[in-house]
Amino acid sequence: MNKISIIAVVIGAVAISSCSDVKRTPGKIYMPDMAYSRAVETYNDNRELQAEGINYNAMPVAGTVARGEEVIYKMLKDTAGTYVTSSSMTNPLTGKLSEADYTETERIYLINCGICHGAKLDGNGPLYNDGKGPYPLAPKNLVSDELKKMADGTMFHSITYGKGMMGPYASQLSPKQRWMVIQYIRMKQGGETPGAAAATDSTATVKADSTATAMN
Ligand code: HEC
């Protein structure tokens, strides 16, 4: 009994003496990659990397256009109702996508949009998956009547600057690629395939119902 109480007192003394508010250094770090995250965040203002000429935050200079860019977009983010006025913008790419452009645009769509909007464009991509996925909000069904009526310009504005829970795609896709994705969505809405004959009725409905001047 005595022995046990002596052991208890010793353990107690050690435990109490190890509690202290004196800050100690963590000692030598022999695996710094584990102690400090080496994550490089997009757009972070990393001066060390900039000194090496690596610019993660290099945004295009305002008002400039990339060399080779065919489509120039000047509408600003929704500061003064540009979401509404964007509906008057028309798609500078007319007609249907060629076979090669269709294949390329499908690739772009599946990489950037399919995860949420689904390969069938029905708004049920793997990230949402009938609400079972981690994404909290149902992505829009891009082949629904609502989206058939939405003006090309509105879509372009939302893809450029994001909408609600959807992020912006201005830095991932060039303006031309964004318009091509819209052409792709239109072709899917009308059940068109590249190389098939002239525009279908559904495209005509879009023109009549939307507030956009026209999509071609
Ligand atoms: C992370 C998931 C996600 C991805 C990826 C995504 N979207 Fe969306 N998208 C959404 C959600 C959610 C909405 C509904 C937004 C709202 O109304 O709040 C939406 C809405 C839209 C709309 C309707 C916009 C409007 O003005 O109402 C269009 C058009 C659209 N997406 C196209 C695209 C295209 C094209 C891509 C690929 C370049 C894409 N989305 C990528 C989740 C996503």
Give residue 12's pLDDT band: very low, low, confident or very high (50, 70, 90).
confident
The rounded Å distance from CA 144 to ligand 1 centre is: 13
Average pLDDT over residues 192-210: 50
Q: At which residue do the structure tokens 């030598």 appear?
A: 28
| 65 and 72 Cβ atoms separated by less than 8 Å | yes
Residues with CB under 6 A from ligand 1: 112-113, 115-117, 127, 135, 137, 139-140, 154-155, 158-159, 163-166, 169, 181
Q: Which two tokens stand for residue 122?
A: 């029905």
> For residue 173, how many other CB atoms are within 10 A of its CB?
20
CA of 58 to the centre of ligand 1 (A): 26
Å from CA of 139 to ligand 1 middle: 6
What mean pLDDT is predicted for residues 77-90? Answer: 80
Higher-confidence residue: 212 or 20? Answer: 20
Identity of residue 62: A
pLDDT digit string (tens) for 31-52? Answer: 666 666 555 555 556 677 777 7
Residue 216 has pLDDT above 50, yes or no: no
Give the ligand 1 atom nearest the CA of 173.
Answer: 38
CA 15 to chain centre: 52
Please state the separation of Cα 208 from the chain's center in Å.
30
More confident residue, 129 or 53: 129
